[in-house]
Structures are given as structure tokens and as C-alpha cells.
Amino acid sequence: MKIQTLLICGFLMIYSQNGHAGQGDINLAVKGGTLGIGAEVGIGLSDDLVLRGGVNYLKFDFDSTIDQIDYNMEPEFKNGSLLLDFHPFSGAFRLTGGLYLNGNEINVDGTYRKDLIPAAYQQYSNLTDLARVKGTVDFNSVAPFIGLGWKSNHGQKGWGIAFDAGILFQGEPQVSELTVETAFGHASHPEAIRFLEEQRQAIEDDLDQFKYYPVASLTLSYTF
């Protein structure tokens, strides 16, 4: 619903400025990049300005060892964008700024490294499979974006391609719902709580790189 609201507000803004939409160009596009696959709709406000709204989706996973815990990280990126392109001198080159409704999150699932268990306790190493650390990492729900790009057929009808690159400022990663699960249920011992707080901080530090997320995309569009 938030994404739909963002797009509707953007296009209402366009239609309230009929005098600036002289070209009336409408762009429909599909795209792929570091935010996954997506679709866009763009409307020309003038020879130099284009307003774009879109959605993107991406899901993947990777492994990371943090503080002796082997984690499987599963990022899931879901976002909607409202972007304004400025084409200096009405050319193909463009500067872009705007906002993303940011549904990006990372699910984490970790187990203790068996090779780090003291020798005296190796006989119990199979029990580490019965204990898991699980949680979710979230970011700011609204994230600003700046970038630059190139569109082959700006100001012309028909098919075109575009390339864009920029930075999504999605804020510090925040771990929520971090729990330790065992074969006997959720641990609530004070030591378990202390351990989880240490892991929370370690995960946030490890994923700090995601607060400035690089965005690059290749777009195929048709202009009416």
C-alpha cells in the first residue's frame, strides 16, 4: 500500500501541472540491476525533466562468520521508487534524485562453529545443531537516492536503453527479533540474553556496509 500511495501521489503531481507537460512523453520500462528486477513508468514534465515511479525485487543469500558464529544471510529487497531526472541541455545524460520506500531486510540464521569447540567438549559437538541464532535486519523505511545515468532516446519516441548508477542511503542496519533457539525452546537465561546482545551488535557492525547501498541498473524502455 505504501508503494501504491507513493506512485499515485507522484502522478497526481504531474497532472496538476498540465502546462509543464508539453511533451507528454510516457515511458514504460523493465529493468535489472543491484536492486533486482523491476518495472517503471515515466512521464516527461518538460524537455529537461522526467518523473519516474517504479518497483524492484531481489532475493539472494551468502554466508558470513561473525564472532565464531556461522551465519547464513538472506537479503530480500522490496522497494518502490519515485525519482526525478534532470537532463542538462535536454541531452541523453541525466542527473537523478528521489526517494525509495524501502522494504529491504536481511534474515540471519546462525550456528556455532564446531571447530572452535574446546576439545574437552567435542563429545557434545552434535548438540550445536540443536541451537540456532535467528533474526531479521531492517533499514530505514524511506531512503533518499542520488545518481546519474544515460538514456539513449531521451526526447524521442520508440525503444531505448538506459544505464544508471547511484547510492541508496538506507541508514544503519537494525537487528530485530533476534532469538536463540534450542531443542528445549527459547533460551531466557541471563547469559543467553547477554550473548544475544553481543551478537546483535556484531551483526549490525558486520552489515554496516549496506547502509550506503550501490545501485546500478540497465533499463529497456518504450516511449509513446
CATH number of the CATH domain containing 203: 2.40.160.170
Tell which wins on pLDDT, 184 or 17: 184
**pLDDT confidence tier of residue 4, bands split at 50, 70 and 90:** very low
Q: How far is CA 182 from CA 74, 106, 177, in A?
A: 21, 22, 16
Tens of pLDDT, residue by residue over 180-197, are 765 545 556 676 678 788
Q: What percent of the chain has pLDDT over 70?
A: 76
Average pLDDT, the chain: 83
Q: What percent of the chain has pLDDT over 90?
A: 61
**pLDDT confidence tier of residue 17, bands split at 50, 70 and 90:** very low
Q: Domain of residue 150: give its range.
A: 2-223
Query: How many domains, in total, are found in the chain?
Result: 1
Q: What is the pTM of this model?
A: 0.79
pLDDT of 75 strictly over 50: yes
Average pLDDT over residues 34-38: 97
Nearest Cα residue to 32 out of 167, 164, 168, 224: 164
**pLDDT at residue 85 in the model:** 97
**41, amino acid identity:** V
Tens of pLDDT, residue by residue over 96-124, are 999 999 999 999 998 876 655 545 444 54
Average pLDDT over residues 70-79: 94
**pLDDT at residue 132 in the model:** 76
